[in-house]
A and B are shown apart, each in its own frame.
Chain A
Amino acid sequence: MTPEITIAILMTVVGASTPILLAALGELVVEKSGVLNLGLEGMMLIGAVAAFAVAATTGSAWLGALVAMLAGAAAALIFGVLTLTLTANQVATGLALTIFGVGVSSLVGAPFVGMTVEGLGTLFPESLADDAWGRILFGHNPLAYVSLLAVVLVVWFLNRSRAGLILRAVGESDEAAHSIGYSVIGVRYLAVLFGGAMAGLAGSCYSLVLTPLWADQLTAGRGWIALALVVFASWRPWRLFLGAYLFGGVMTLELHAKAAGLSLLEPEFLAMLPYLATIAVLTIISLRRSGARAGAPACLAKPFRASA
């Protein structure tokens, strides 16, 4: 393998890992607060279509990414109202959100099918990325840097900040947090909105970076893989980072095989790989731990309604 190909592979892995890392980081914070939002895929699709629509009509990809975050947060707000205020079942509501996101994105995206937009481009001037190291350090899409920064910030927030401690406490025991005087619902709303914004941003990655061309169901189940990643990472941000890059590698195998001129597997079987890998990884991680939920917040997916 030439250095050229190695670098190219590295670049695609980073590209494929970025959106699932962003989405999974958001979901990790949500789950740490004790809420399970299975609507990740739906929020990503809504973010993707919002980003594309804004970028296509205004010509600004950055504005598109911003609107994607708002759209993702708005979708998360629906989830929040249903599950937190109206105490609806979180699993059912998350599924509804995904079905909703599929519908909304293809409805809003219908006029844009097949259109292309100017994507987010790169963050640094081209001149910095003209040799091998330059490309590895400075040649990635802007959201890749955002996602790495987000990992650091989430680690700091959860482990070092008082707000993060309160968030973990709410996810650990809603009753205790409530009786001390913390607003369980308030904390969870903020977490859910953050998760939505991150999912929206992750969605914009698909429509503004990876394929600046609109097609239905652009995210192709990556939201579910991001959900699995949170379990795989045992709710730890650093392991999430590793997992996202592992999956980025698996997801781009198809491309690499083509680039290397290999055709060991039929294309359909290559396309199955990320999903099969997810199942395999979840199985291994569950086998390794005694309790499959070690590390899971104790109140995950448990509805809370203040009794007083």
Chain B
Amino acid sequence: MRARLEARREPSRAMRLATPPLAVLLTMVAGAVVFQIMGFDGPAAIHQIFIVPVIDPSHWPDLGVKAAPLIIIAVGLAIGFRANVWNIGAEGQYVFGALAATGVALATWEMEGVWILPAMCLAGLAGGMLYAAVPAFLKTRVGVNEILTSLMLTYVAIQLLYYLMRGPWKDPEGFNFPQSRLFTDWQTLPMVMEDSYIHLGVPISVLIALAVWIVMGRTIVGFEVRLAGLAPAAARHGGFNAKRTVWLCLLAGGGLAGLAGTFEAAGPYGQMVPQFPVGYGFTAIIVAFLGRLHALGIILAGLVLAVSYVGGELAQTAAGLPHAATGMFQAMMLFFLLAVDILVRYRLRFGRPAAAEGSA
């Protein structure tokens, strides 16, 4: 008997829902094996990474804080990925947006007012959009592939951050450390609850995901984006402008990444530092796919990846697992998802080809 793949007549909805959890499960099993081979206690490491953060409520706030930027960036990216607009420079837009917000913060450092924080958020949003506008312009005007340009700009943004931290934006009272001033109370996100470190950005990330869900599912803009990805020729036939769709996708992705950067700077960091880019912009790509490019799925996927971050740190202290293991782990999750996704379009059959199911 031999396994075969047989094309389904329609993609399986059940499998679309089942494959992401399956991918996570496979990652856990494969991860345990890999860690065992590397000389660690595999099952214990997996327990630390995937189980402890979920069952121990003391880690929950941390999960929320880690998930928030991932969710915000990923819903933005998912809009583009739906339309085959491959913005993979979210990390750069995240940094650039945060820098724009920092700029506002530094300019308003001696001021007071509730308007300062919203102004920073607007600057972050606009900064991210502006940074994503470069690949959008080059793609629509000149036909340059957005994958390469958006990614190149990430390296540029990080160098810009280094320059600003080392030079013009260095804290004058910071003992010559390359970092900005600490933001004032007017410039930092308030906490949702007393005595917890869940900042306002966490619930906002969920609200953003819900808003994107409605836009993608109910509005003509969402229709346009889904259409552009599946059948560009049909989109043109239906009267949608392909260039407009590209702009829309990149501006949405860039703006949300910039906003996420602002929330990080004005939230957990409370200032700008050279270590600010930690790869959320790349991890968000995994979140977007694991969440099936669907806003609600992305909320869950964001939490799963947050678990892997928090658990990865726990495993570092508890099991001596290297920090880098988390990144490999997250990539494995995407590999497994892409692999098992074939079950959405194909059915696994054993044995001889099936006879015709009735006559046509």
Chain A residues in the interface with B (C-beta under 8 A): 38, 78, 81-82, 86-89, 91-93, 95-97, 99-100, 102-104, 106-107, 110, 216, 220-221, 224, 227-228, 231, 266, 268-269, 271-272, 275-276, 278-279, 282-283, 286-287, 291-293
Contact across chains for A266 and B142 when beta carbons are under 8 A apart: no
Number of interface residues of B (CB under 8 A): 46
Contacts of A231 in B (CB 8 A): 145, 148
Residues of A near B159 (CB, < 8 A) are 268-269, 271-272
- Which B residues are within 8 Å of any A CB, using their own CB? 81, 86, 88, 134, 138, 142-145, 147-149, 151-153, 155-156, 159-160, 162-163, 166-167, 282-283, 285-286, 289, 322-332, 334-335, 338-339, 341-342, 345
Q: In the assembled complex, which residues on chain A have CB atoms less than 8 Å from the CB atom of B167?
A: 266
Decide: A292 and B334 in contact? CB cutoff 8 A.
Answer: no
Closest to B288 in A: A92
Residues of chain A within 8 A of B335, CB atoms compared: 78, 82, 93, 96, 100
**Which secondary structure characterizes the binding site on chain A?**
helix
Do most interface residues of chain B lie in helix, strand or loop, or is the interface mixed?
Answer: helix
B204 to chain A, nearest CB (A): 27
The 7 A-B residue pairs whose C-beta atoms are closest, nearest first, are A103-B328, A292-B143, A103-B327, A100-B331, A106-B324, A268-B163, A88-B338
Contacts of B162 in A (CB 8 A): 268
List, in ascending order, chain A residues with CB within 8 A of B282's CB.
99
Chain A residue contacts of B339, Cβ below 8 A: 81-82, 86, 88
Count of chain A to chain B residue pairs whose CB atoms are closer than 8 Å in the complex = 131
CA distance A97 to B331 in the complex (A): 7
Q: Assess whether A279 is in contact with B153, with CB atoms less than 8 Å apart.
A: yes
For A109, give the chain B residue with the smallest CB separation: B324
- Report whether B86 and A275 are in contact in the complex, using a CB–CB cutoff of 8 Å: no
Q: Is A279 a contact of B342 with CB atoms below 8 Å?
A: no
> Contact: A272 with B285, CB < 8 Å?
no
Complex A-B: 25 CB contacts under 8 Å: A86-B339, A87-B345, A88-B339, A91-B147, A92-B81, A95-B88, A95-B285, A96-B335, A99-B334, A102-B331, A103-B329, A106-B323, A106-B324, A107-B327, A224-B148, A228-B152, A266-B163, A272-B156, A279-B134, A279-B138, A279-B152, A279-B153, A282-B144, A282-B148, A282-B149
B332 to chain A, nearest CB (A): 7
Contact A292 B322 (CB under 8 A): no
Contacts of B286 in A (CB 8 A): 96, 99
